[in-house]
Structure 1
Amino acid sequence: MKKFGLAIQTMTRLPLKKQFDVTCQDYADSVAWFPATSLMAGAVMLAVYQLILLTGIPYLPAFLCVMAGIMFTGGLHIDGFADVCDAFFAGKTKERTLEILKDSRMGTYGVLGIVFIVVAKTFLIADLNPDRVLWVLLATPLCGKIPLVFCAKLSRYPRQDGMAKCIIENLKIDTALIAIIICSVAVFLVGGFAAGSIAVACMIAIGAVMYFISEKKIDGATGDVLGACNELGEIVFLLVMAVML
């Protein structure tokens, strides 16, 4: 259960206080538990959506369930997306791009990125088939892990240190496959064969595209890049489900 605890500590803001004696390989192996923590995030989003739905106010359930998902993860993924927007649009050299990625301050592109994510998710969730929306919400965080894990497995880490270094440099192919397969099964269960196939294909494409872009920009991927993969994956998954279900 140590690796499950590491996954909870890494991917959520649940107050798990137990200290573990861990290695970099343990962090990488905890990726196999990312689907479980993603399911927890989906359950939180679903619960908030159901509760606020009782108010009958349009778009409010969708908006607040998006915010609940962000709060549950401590804004980990959306912060990464914002940092990538700032760095990849404003950074002209590898050194400058990495410097912006490490800077805790947020620029204009980052703010616009956050607004885009929140608004897009809110409108897409509000447009989902009412008979399937609860299952889609449950699966959305899992779907976002497919491009994240895929990109992590392809990439190298461009810095000497960093939170994601252990995962990117030590992720085993069998661990990556376990996470991707579990998340893909969830997508197929929710979307069926047609929508599920398109969604999974899009997730793999997002992971590959982000790998190539970040490889060109910074000679590898950072935790922020993986967070951006997650957010883009969730957006595209919701889009596919809104169109096809």
Structure 2
Amino acid sequence: MPAKADPRSLAHRVLDEVRYLLTALGYFTRVPVPRWVGFEPHYLPAAARWFALVGVLVGTVAALVFAIAIRVFPQPVAVLLSMAATLLLTGAFHEDGLADSCDAFGGAYAREDVLRIMHDSRIGVFGAIGLVVALLLKWQTLAALSPMRVVWVSIAAHAASRAVAISFLATHEYVRSEGKAKAVARRLGRPALVWVALTGLPWLFLPDWRLGLATLGVLAVLRFGLGRWFKRRIGGYTGDCLGFAQQVFEVAIYLCALASQAV
């Protein structure tokens, strides 16, 4: 007869997964994490499989703020308030990676110089331009969408962009000996990668499966191109590269939604 599962071990596994989820939430957002969660070195690598779900939560906050604000303010203002809410919630975590990557890749050629500039917390011309362009693209595309599409795409973009960005952990090497993403940067196994996809990608297909399929194709092409670029320039990825990729994927999802509305 097959051995029965130990209820206590099952409870421990469930508690561990809750810890990993809350660790992911604390890493990617400013949401306070209960003290009982604690911290161990293996928490962050194990938490990587929950990063897409954190995107779902961030996107849900964006959608709720927009849905409330649109009842009082014009759509462009409602979108700005929604964007401000996500920036406050995440501490502009990914936007910081975008700015650092733009400065590094735009201002250096040698690998060592790229990594040095990327490590510098000060923002330069390329970083400022990249950040302004990305924020304006988000604002203008969301302001041009129908209100119902904004609600859907806010969740889909935050979830799917994080899922595709974190997939670099399964295919590329982390290139720093230390850094803010070093604790996370371990190879993502196939089961964890499947879970990331299941929690982050289906949101693309909710309103229209054809649009979801087309958007997924665009994301696949962008991921391939960015992956090749990261590998050619620095031999792999850094935490800032992941933030940069997430922002690119997020903007691409908004643009796909707007393009489909115009057709």
After superposition, the C-alpha distances for 1:88-145 in whole angstroms (9 at most, x for unaligned) are 0101211110001100100011011111111100011111123322112122200211
Instruction: Quote the Cα distance in structure 2 between the aligned partners of 1:2 and 1:111.
Output: 36
- Equivalent residues of 2:156, 2:201 under 8 A apart: no
After superposition, the C-alpha distances for 1:150-186 in whole angstroms (9 at most, x for unaligned) are 2232110111111222333232222122112321111
SS across alignment from 1:21: coil
> How big is the shift at 1:85?
0.4
TM-score for both structures, normalised by structure 2? 0.87
Alignment counterpart, residue 50 of structure 1, candidates 67, 71, 79: 67
1:6 corresponds to 2:37: no
Range moving further from structure 2, 92-101 or 194-203 = 194-203
> How big is the shift at 1:58?
4.5
Give the partner amino acid of 1:92: Y
- Equivalent residues of 2:49, 2:196 under 8 A apart: yes
Give the partner amino acid of 2:183: C
- Equivalent residues of 2:170, 2:193 under 8 A apart: yes
Q: Which residue of 2 aligns with 1:28?
A: 45
SS across alignment from 2:253: helix
Aligned ranges 1:1-245 → 2 under 5 Å: 1-18=18-35, 20-24=38-42, 26-190=43-207, 192-245=208-261
- Equivalent residues of 1:78, 1:227 under 8 A apart: yes
Instruction: Quote the Cα distance in structure 1 between the aligned partners of 2:73 and 2:22.
Output: 38
- Equivalent residues of 1:81, 1:228 under 8 A apart: yes
After superposition, the C-alpha distances for 1:202-231 in whole angstroms (9 at most, x for unaligned) are 222222222111111111100100001111
Equivalent pairs: percent with the same residue?
24
After superposition, the C-alpha distances for 1:48-94 in whole angstroms (9 at most, x for unaligned) are 21222133334111122112112211111011011110000101211
- Equivalent residues of 2:53, 2:199 under 8 A apart: no
- Pick the structure with greater CA Rg: 2
> How big is the shift at 1:17?
4.6
Instruction: Quote the Cα distance in structure 2 between the aligned partners of 1:179 and 1:107.
Output: 34
- Equivalent residues of 1:210, 1:225 under 8 A apart: no
Instruction: Quote the Cα distance in structure 1 between the aligned partners of 2:46 and 2:21.
Output: 9
SS across alignment from 2:30: coil
- Equivalent residues of 1:129, 1:242 under 8 A apart: no
Number of residue pairs matched? 243
Instruction: Quote the Cα distance in structure 2 between the aligned partners of 1:225 and 1:185.
Output: 24
Give the partner amino acid of 1:134: V
Give the partner amino acid of 2:50: W
